[in-house]
Amino acid sequence: ASSVVVGGANSAWPENDDELVSTMVRATRGAAVMLLQREVPDRVNLAAAAAAKAAGVPIVVDAGGVDAPIPAALLEAADYLCPNESELARLTRSPTSTDDEVLIAGLELVARGAKRVLVTLGARGAIVIGATGVLARHDALPVPGGEVVDGTAAGDAFRAAVAVAVAEGVDVVRDTRGLALAAAAGAYAGSVPG
């Protein structure tokens, strides 16, 4: 597995809050979905989420990138909060090795304000959790070629495909095409380097 890191790339944002908000309002115009990632500073994600929410744009938050609590306002703004299994464990300080434990941890994030928690579980697939419990589930798909070459970006590809599905108007909970697309993207990403 490999990653390329460009130090400071996610910190080059306007320092003035008014300028930051204005930037995010412009960036949100015409958007069909807002995909946020926690390697970007929280203040930037909060400004982006506020602009998206005001414009009625659905918000998908990738919970990875930083090992810190998610601000309540970001948790509440997200239509889908997307941690992987280990991120869910860190966010809730709860075990997540079984589906029952994942459900309990996901419900904790729902109780804190998340609308839906979409947890990727590697070979165990993915599960969407809401206030009533498990809303949807999808099995992992086979990796093309039968062998994982590099799993580095599989979760990123999965979450990006969820965002595409949401942008296309697919209800990820009620329409299996959304999670199927995401599972296929994750499986494909694992079949190639990088």
Annotated active-site positions, please? 156
Residue 39: which of 92, 87, 99, 79 has the closest Cα?
A: 87
Q: Do residues 23 and 3 touch, judged by C-beta distance below 8 A?
A: no
- The answer to whether 7 and 14 are in contact (CB under 8 A) is no
Say if residues 29 and 54 touch (Cβ distance below 8 Å): no
Neighbours of 172 (CB within 10 A): 26
**Which residues sit opposite 61 in a β-bridge?**
36, 81
